[in-house]
């Protein structure tokens, strides 16, 4: 997969089938209602004070939920505009996705949300640290966990691209 | 501030510990997923901090696990906490005193 930047869009090109599968999972992976762990991380309690907590539940949290839902809808809509490219001489499909520059921050947020949820549900960071320190050997990791780690890394790489090229400081 | 009324039969009491003027801290917590550069950008955007101040706070969060990133009135603290959470940062509010 290559990422390119144009004036009005950023383009994911030469997306392989596995990468496309990971990208297509993004809206589902970022769904904060998919598990209690996901909900607790994305919409955490803000205060021990009951008065403040009640205000938060009544006003702030519903606004955050609406915002997060809207952002997932934008990304899902962008994903539906994928082009499937069958390239001569190469086996399998490749995909190309063009995303408007003005959606960059929304994409960053949804990618971030998905990584936060994946880590919360599958302890991705802990597994990676254990691998790096040698406490855990690669063969001890089940296939499903590897796939989640690959998904987590792909999302992180895209976030780094967006952060470097499209997210400006004030 | 004590609440008053001209009606002698009406007794108004200020609920202890909920006065709106007492200061609140907005606390930002470390998490292993958010990129450090992103946290710095968010601190600049939400609070209008300089790059140096935002980076100092971000590093404090990273090294110490948390940092008080702002102190002030409750309504503003709620708004700031909401803005931090809108960027998926872990933030809470605590009474400053």
In DSSP terms, B93 is beta-bridged to B26
3-class DSSP state of B67: strand
Nearest CA in chain B to A115: B33
Q: Among B45, B82, B93, whose Cβ lies nearest the Cβ of A64? A: B82
CA distance B68 to B75: 16
Determine whether the interchain pair B34/A56 forms a contact, defined as Cβ–Cβ distance below 8 Å. no
Task: Give me the domain span that covers residue A103.
Answer: 2-165
CB neighbour list of residue B73: distance below 8 Å, 6 or more residues apart: B20, B21, B23, B24
On chain A, the residues whose CB falls within 8 A of the CB of B34 are 112, 116
Residue B24 has pLDDT above 50, yes or no: yes
Residue B12 is predicted with a pLDDT of 45
What is the nearest CA distance from B2 to chain A, expressed in angstroms? Answer: 19
Nearest CA in chain B to A39: B88
Q: Among A45, A119, A163, whose Cβ lies nearest the Cβ of B37? A: A163
CA B94, chain centre distance (Å) = 7
In DSSP terms, B95 is beta-bridged to B24
In DSSP terms, A85 is beta-bridged to A94
Residue B9 is predicted with a pLDDT of 54
Residue B11 has pLDDT above 50, yes or no: no
Residue A127 is predicted with a pLDDT of 92
Question: What confidence tens digit (pLDDT) does each residue in B28-46 have?
Answer: 999 999 999 999 999 999 9
pLDDT along chain A (170 residues), means of 10: 91 92 97 97 95 95 98 97 71 86 97 98 93 87 91 97 86
Q: Which pLDDT band, with edges at 50, 70 and 90, does B20 fall under?
A: low
Residue at A170 is within a domain? no
Nearest CA in chain B to A47: B93
Q: Among A60, A116, A170, whose Cβ lies nearest the Cβ of B88? A: A116
Q: Which pLDDT band, with edges at 50, 70 and 90, does B8 fall under?
A: low
CB neighbour list of residue B60: distance below 8 Å, 6 or more residues apart: B67
* pLDDT, average across residues B18-31: 86
Residue B17 has pLDDT above 80, yes or no: no
Instruction: Choose from B15, B88, B93 for mutation: most chain A CBs within 10 A.
Output: B88
Residue B14 is predicted with a pLDDT of 44
Q: Which pLDDT band, with edges at 50, 70 and 90, does B57 fall under?
A: very high
| Size of chain B, expressed as the number of residues it contains | 97
Residue at A92 is within a domain? yes
What is the nearest CA distance from B8 to chain A, expressed in angstroms? Answer: 28
Topology (CATH level 3) of domain B24-95: Ribosomal Protein L30; Chain: A, (3.30.1390)
ipTM attached to this prediction: 0.91
**Mean pLDDT, chain B, integer:** 87
What is the total count of domains within chain A? 1
Q: Among A47, A159, A167, whose Cβ lies nearest the Cβ of B41? A: A167
CA distance B41 to A8: 22
B2/A74: higher pLDDT: A74
């Amino acid at each position: 997969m290559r990422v390119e930047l144009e004036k009005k869009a950023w383009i994911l090109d030469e997306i392989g089938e596995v990468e496309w599968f990971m990208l297509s999972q993004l809206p589902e992976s970022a769904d904060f209602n998919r598990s209690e762990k996901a909900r607790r991380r994305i919409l955490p309690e803000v205060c021990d004070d009951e008065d403040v907590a009640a205000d938060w539940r009544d006003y702030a949290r519903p606004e955050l939920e609406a915002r997060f839902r809207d952002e997932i809808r934008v990304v899902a809509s962008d994903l539906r505009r994928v082009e499937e490219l069958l390239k001569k001489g190469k086996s399998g499909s490749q995909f190309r996705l063009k995303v408007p520059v003005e959606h960059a921050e929304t994409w960053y947020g949804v990618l971030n949300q998905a990584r936060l949820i994946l880590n919360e549900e599958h302890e991705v960071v802990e597994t990676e640290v254990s691998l790096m320190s040698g406490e855990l050997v690669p063969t001890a990791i089940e296939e499903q966990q590897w796939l989640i780690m690959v998904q987590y890394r792909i999302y992180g790489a895209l976030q780094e691209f967006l952060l470097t090229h499209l997210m400006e400081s004030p | 501030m004590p609440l008053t009324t001209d009606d002698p039969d009406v007794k108004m009491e200020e609920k202890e510990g909920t006065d709106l003027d007492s200061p609140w801290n907005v606390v930002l917590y470390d998490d292993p997923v958010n990129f450090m550069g992103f946290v710095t950008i968010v601190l600049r955007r939400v609070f209008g901090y300089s790059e140096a101040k935002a980076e100092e706070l971000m590093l404090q969060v990273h090294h110490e696990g948390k940092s008080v990133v702002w102190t002030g009135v409750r309504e503003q603290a709620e708004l700031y906490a909401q803005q931090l959470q809108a960027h998926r940062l872990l933030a809470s509010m605590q009474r400053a005193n």
